[in-house]
């Protein structure tokens, strides 16, 4: 019996001696009030050690957190993680069209689904299954752990919209790929970002915006663009949680297992929080003086029908990267999830 106790004591000592504590930084260019940043702290950071303990691992993570642009700005999220300015953090792939074009597939396939949770879970699955998606992160020295995104887009304008004809000649804030959503309507796309929209409409630079309510409501865009027209252009992936690949390779199997699981949970948790906020803000808009209407279905159909083949053009421009396969796989998973795409981009 004494021999067994001694052996057990030696084993426990060896386990303790083999335990590792990893000092990691979690950071973001945006503040924690945004769900895709807040969940980095309240879920990933907060839960990591508890999950390690629950699985019987002796390893631990000592986190340092730096949000709200404390280390870098929104244009540098990919480089910050890849170059090791932070060990882990939120990466905005929406701004990386040249380095990571395939990650922006949803922005070239609008009117597919308003279900943010399902859309992001599909994007996570595609990253696991399609090498070209994972390789895009590998090439930047980043390991992808879980997608982030935003709910469906609508119109906020300083004039009433009763039909798509009302948008002709109007200057509408629609940066990046979203400009392609409105050009065929005769609208004039204007570049900008959520923090600049208010002033741009107030000063006449723009007459309105194609925007997410979870961004528009906190920024009080309804004060300068009080006409809210519900369109439902679809939910989209905007980025995700990533970790520096060199750091990742130096972590234990236990820590990697926990962080992978947390990456999946992060996707769902922040998407559910986004949708909860969306419903809250939508309900509050009339209370703050906004006029909320739905674009007539006939006009939504006309909007969709008039869109050029955005997916096909994007696939052709990124043929060498395997974009066509990404579109086909994405649309197949949308249908397999029981969602009914508003536009069959793989059949145009």
pLDDT digits (tens, 9 = 90+) for 231-276: 999 999 999 999 999 999 999 999 999 999 999 999 999 999 999 9
In terms of domains, do 204 and 222 share one?
yes
CA dihedral sign, ordered 110, 113, 116, 120: negative
Give the other-Cβ count within 10 Å of 323's Cβ: 22
pLDDT reported for residue 193: 86
Whether residue 161 sits in one domain with residue 143? no
Both 251 and 175 in one domain: the answer is no
Q: Do 193 and 140 sit in the same domain of this protein?
A: no
Query: Can you give the pLDDT at residue 8?
Result: 34
**Whether 125 and 193 share a structural domain:** no
Contacts of residues 127-131 at CB distance under 8 Å and 24 or more positions apart, as own/partner, are 129/329, 130/322, 130/325, 130/326, 130/329
Residue 44 falls within a domain, yes or no? yes
Instruction: Determine, yes or no, domain membership for 57.
Output: yes
Residue 263 domain boundaries = 2-100+116-148+238-273
CATH of the domain at 13: 3.40.190.170
Instruction: Kindly state whether residue 109 falls inside one of the protein's structural domains.
Output: no
Tell me: do 263 and 134 sit in the same domain.
Answer: yes
Q: How does DSSP classify residue 151?
A: -
> In this structure, are 88 and 208 located in the same domain?
no
- Clarify whether residues 164 and 302 are in a common domain: yes
Q: Are 104 and 240 in contact (CB under 8 A)?
A: no
Task: Tell whether 105 is covered by a domain.
Answer: no
Q: What is the DSSP string of 271-302?
A: HHHHHHHHHHHHHHGGGGT-EEEE--HHHHHH
Q: Identify the residue whose tokens are 């940066």.
A: 175
Please tell me the distance from the alpha carbon of residue 253 to that of residue 257, in angstroms, as a whole number: 6
Predicted confidence (pLDDT) per residue in 58-94, tens digit: 999 999 999 999 999 988 999 999 999 999 999 999 9
Same domain, 157 and 303: yes
Q: Tens of pLDDT along the chain (348 residues)?
A: 444 343 333 334 334 447 999 999 999 999 999 999 999 999 999 999 999 999 999 999 999 999 999 999 988 999 999 999 999 999 999 989 999 999 999 999 999 999 999 999 999 999 999 999 999 999 999 999 999 999 999 999 999 999 999 999 999 999 989 999 999 999 999 999 888 999 999 999 999 999 999 999 999 999 999 999 999 999 999 999 999 999 999 999 999 999 999 999 999 999 999 999 999 999 999 999 999 999 999 999 999 999 999 999 999 999 999 999 999 999 999 999 999 999 999 998
**Which DSSP state fits 108?**
G
The model's pTM: 0.92
Q: How many domains does the chain have?
A: 2
- Clarify whether residues 129 and 259 are in a common domain: yes
Verify that 79 and 50 share a domain, yes or no. yes
């Amino acid at each position: 019996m004494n021999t067994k106790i001694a052996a057990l004591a030696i084993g426990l000592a060896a386990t303790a001696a083999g335990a590792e504590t990893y000092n990691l930084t979690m950071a973001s260019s945006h503040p924690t009030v945004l769900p895709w940043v807040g969940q980095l702290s309240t879920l990933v950071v907060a839960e990591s050690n508890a999950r390690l303990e629950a699985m019987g691992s002796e390893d631990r993570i000592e986190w340092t957190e730096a949000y709200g642009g404390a280390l870098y700005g929104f244009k540098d999220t990919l480089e910050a993680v890849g170059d090791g300015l932070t060990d882990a953090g939120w990466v905005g792939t929406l701004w990386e069209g040249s380095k990571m074009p395939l990650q922006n597939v949803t922005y070239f396939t609008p009117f597919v689904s308003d279900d943010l949770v399902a859309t992001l879970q599909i994007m996570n699955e595609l990253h696991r299954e399609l090498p070209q998606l994972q390789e895009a992160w590998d090439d930047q020295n980043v390991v992808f752990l879980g997608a982030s995104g935003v709910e469906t887009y609508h119109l906020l304008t300083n004039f009433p919209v009763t039909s798509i004809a009302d948008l002709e000649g109007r200057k509408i804030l629609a940066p990046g790929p979203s400009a392609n959503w409105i050009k065929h309507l005769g609208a004039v796309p204007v570049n900008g970002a959520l923090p600049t929209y208010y002033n741009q409409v107030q000063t006449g630079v723009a007459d309105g915006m194609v925007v997410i309510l979870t961004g528009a409501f906190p920024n009080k865009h309804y004060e300068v663009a009080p006409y809210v027209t519900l369109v439902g252009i679809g939910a989209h992936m905007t980025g995700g949680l990533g970790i520096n690949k060199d750091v990742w390779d130096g972590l234990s199997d236990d820590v990697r297992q926990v962080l992978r699981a947390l990456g999946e949970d992060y996707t769902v948790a922040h998407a559910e929080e986004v949708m909860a906020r969306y419903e809250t803000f939508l309900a509050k808009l009339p209370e703050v003086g906004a006029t909320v209407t739905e674009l007539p279905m006939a006009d939504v159909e006309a909007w969709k029908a008039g869109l050029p083949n955005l997916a096909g053009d994007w696939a052709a421009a990124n043929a060498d990267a395997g974009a066509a396969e990404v579109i086909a796989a994405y649309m197949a998973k949308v249908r397999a999830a029981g969602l009914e795409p508003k536009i069959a981009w793989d059949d145009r």
